[in-house]
């Protein structure tokens, strides 16, 4: 923290200051990018806090402390990607363990669980986590972990973290929440009973689509020690330049998230009135089934939304290629607006029948609403709809 024992309460102040104080020797305001793979030891085994950059690096420590503070947790660990962070949680498990997973999760998470860890004799049940009774029924004596996202990718479903935490802890099961869509500015799962918070830093925390990273935050010292052990043993650690970029991003997280949320709210409201749009999935709309839970556990509703277009696959593919301000690309959370087609892009790894059962139709389009003028964003969607899927064209 900055200064002697100064421990600011407010998120905005911690976003800028937590994890780093001006360098004692030089006064550097930003943490240097410690581009050093190794660190001199004073005697064998006597280091000055760092020995080798896979194990630890001062730029990484600054980021890890910053992220822990923002999530309101004791311990933070940074990784080379969001998937590397999620993988580290799975490293806690043993052959024969069972995991209950919210049905709507990022396609890469689904792929890691079923495409990699089923081969290591872990069993996964994908269930509707918006109903905590369904989660409770899915937990068995072998269940070691409940894994959820909220809001979910790409359907923007809302999971009641407190309710799921209650059923998980009753059965002595860890609860991990992927908080990538909300960010700690809008939602802090540890406050609602989660044991582990996971992030793709590639998204809002980095915020500028120029870095890939991941993180885990927990209050549990033993869990953190195991995360550190796997982090060092597996070696999927971020480089110091990447850590620097994410630290630069977190400083502006509050102002960015306020504008992302405002732009998304305006677009969601407008899209809801368009005849070419069958359904708008945005938790900020009063009609969203998770609206009340979201209003209770989130401080605002964020910049992600999805729409189901009343159109066939060809027309939907035309639509996502017809926008000019929104760029057709995977990923999300950067300052620029992106859109993508989950069925053929981010969630192509989920088998088609499962995709359909979850509600990821061929007509579904996901928008990451950026910080451009909302009038330009609306005009862009309007012209793309009119030229492709609009029934009046
Ligand atoms: O891409 P990576 O930093 O490894 O993060 C993976 C990840 C984890 N969790 C969630 C909720 C995510 O959305 C992602 C990555 N998602 C995309 C690339 C995407 O376009 O949805």
Is the same domain home to 259 and 246? Answer: no
Residue 240 belongs to some domain of the structure? yes
* For the CA of 340, the nearest atom of ligand 1: 20
Q: How many CB atoms lie within 10 A of CB 119?
A: 8
- In the listed set 251, 266, 292, which residue is the last one of a domain according to the structure? 251
Angle at 173 between CA 168 and CA 177, to 5 degrees: 70
Is the same domain home to 106 and 236? Answer: yes
Is the same domain home to 234 and 287? Answer: no
Is the same domain home to 176 and 267? Answer: no
Q: What is the CATH number for 374?
A: 3.90.1150.10
Is the same domain home to 262 and 383? Answer: yes
Alpha carbons 391 and 276: distance in angstroms, whole number: 6
Q: Which residues form the pocket of ligand 1, taking CB atoms under 6 Å from any ligand atom?
A: 81-83, 106, 108-109, 149, 153, 178, 180, 200, 202, 212, 214, 330-332, 346
| Tens of each residue's pLDDT in the chain, 393 residues | 444 455 678 999 999 999 999 999 999 999 999 999 999 999 999 999 999 999 999 999 999 999 999 999 999 999 999 999 999 999 999 999 999 999 999 999 999 999 999 999 999 999 999 999 999 999 999 999 999 999 999 999 999 999 999 999 999 999 999 999 999 999 999 999 999 999 999 999 999 999 999 999 999 999 999 999 999 999 999 999 999 999 999 999 999 999 999 999 999 999 999 999 999 999 999 999 999 999 999 999 999 999 999 889 999 999 999 999 999 999 999 999 999 999 999 999 999 999 999 999 999 999 999 999 999 999 999 999 999 987 554
Query: In sequence order, what are the beta bridge partners of 198?
Result: 178, 216
Overall number of domains in the chain? 2
**Which residues have a Cβ under 8 Å from the Cβ of 83 and sit 6 or more positions away?**
108, 109, 112, 200, 214
Is the same domain home to 304 and 166? Answer: no
Is the same domain home to 247 and 107? Answer: yes
Is the same domain home to 259 and 243? Answer: no
Angle at 386 between CA 373 and CA 307, to 5 degrees: 70
Residue 174 belongs to some domain of the structure? yes
Q: Which range of residues forms the domain containing residue 336?
A: 254-388
* For the CA of 214, the nearest atom of ligand 1: 3
Is the same domain home to 275 and 356? Answer: yes
- In the listed set 222, 251, 280, which residue is the last one of a domain according to the structure? 251
Residue 54 belongs to some domain of the structure? yes
Give the C-alpha distances (Å, rounded to integers) separating 353 from 135, 227, 348, 357, 372. 21, 35, 11, 6, 37
DSSP code of residue 189: G
CA of 381 from ligand 1 middle (Å) equals 24
Which positions are annotated as active-site residues?
A: 54, 106, 178, 203
Mutate to test the pocket of ligand 1, among 79, 81, 82 (most ligand atoms within 8 A of CB): 82
Alpha carbons 95 and 108: distance in angstroms, whole number: 21
Alpha carbons 119 and 386: distance in angstroms, whole number: 47
Alpha carbons 78 and 237: distance in angstroms, whole number: 7
């Amino acid at each position: 923290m900055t200064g002697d024992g100064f421990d600011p309460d407010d998120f905005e102040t911690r976003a800028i200051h937590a994890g780093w104080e001006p360098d004692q020797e030089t006064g550097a305001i930003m943490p240097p990018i410690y581009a050093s793979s190794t660190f001199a030891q004073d005697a064998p085994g006597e280091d000055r806090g760092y020995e080798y950059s896979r194990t630890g690096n001062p730029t990484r420590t600054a980021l890890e402390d910053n992220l822990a503070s923002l999530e309101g947790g004791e311990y933070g660990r940074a990784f080379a990607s969001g998937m590397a962070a999620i993988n580290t949680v799975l490293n806690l498990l043993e052959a024969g363990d069972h995991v209950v997973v919210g049905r709507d999760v990022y396609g890469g998470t689904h792929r890691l669980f079923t495409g990699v860890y089923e081969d290591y004799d872990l069993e996964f049940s994908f269930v509707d986590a918006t109903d905590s009774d369904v989660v409770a029924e899915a937990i068995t004596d072998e269940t070691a972990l409940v894994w959820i996202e909220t809001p979910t990718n790409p359907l923007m479903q809302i999971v009641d973290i407190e309710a799921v935490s209650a059923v998980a802890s009753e059965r002595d099961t860890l609860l991990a929440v992927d908080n990538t869509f909300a960010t700690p500015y809008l939602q802090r799962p540890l406050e609602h009973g989660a044991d582990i918070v996971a992030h793709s830093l590639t998204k809002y925390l980095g915020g500028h689509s120029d870095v890939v990273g991941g993180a885990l935050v927990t209050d549990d010292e033993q869990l953190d020690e195991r995360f550190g052990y796997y982090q060092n043993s597996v070696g999927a650690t971020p480089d110091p330049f990447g850590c620097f970029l994410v630290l630069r991003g977190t400083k502006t997280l509050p102002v960015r998230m306020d504008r992302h949320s405002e732009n998304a709210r305006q677009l969601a409201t407008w899209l809801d009135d368009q005849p070419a749009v069958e359904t708008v999935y945005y938790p900020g709309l009063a009609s969203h089934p998770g609206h009340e839970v979201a209003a209770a556990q989130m401080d605002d509703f964020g910049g992600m939304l999805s729409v189901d277009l009343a159109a066939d696959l060809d027309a939907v593919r035309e639509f996502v290629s017809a926008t000019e301000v929104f760029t057709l690309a995977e990923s999300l959370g950067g300052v620029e607006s992106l859109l993508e087609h989950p069925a053929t892009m981010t969630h192509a790894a989920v088998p088609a029948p499962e995709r359909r059962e979850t509600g990821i139709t061929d007509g579904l389009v996901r928008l990451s609403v950026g910080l451009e003028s909302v009038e330009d964003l609306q005009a862009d969607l309007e012209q793309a709809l009119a030229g492709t899927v609009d029934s009046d064209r």
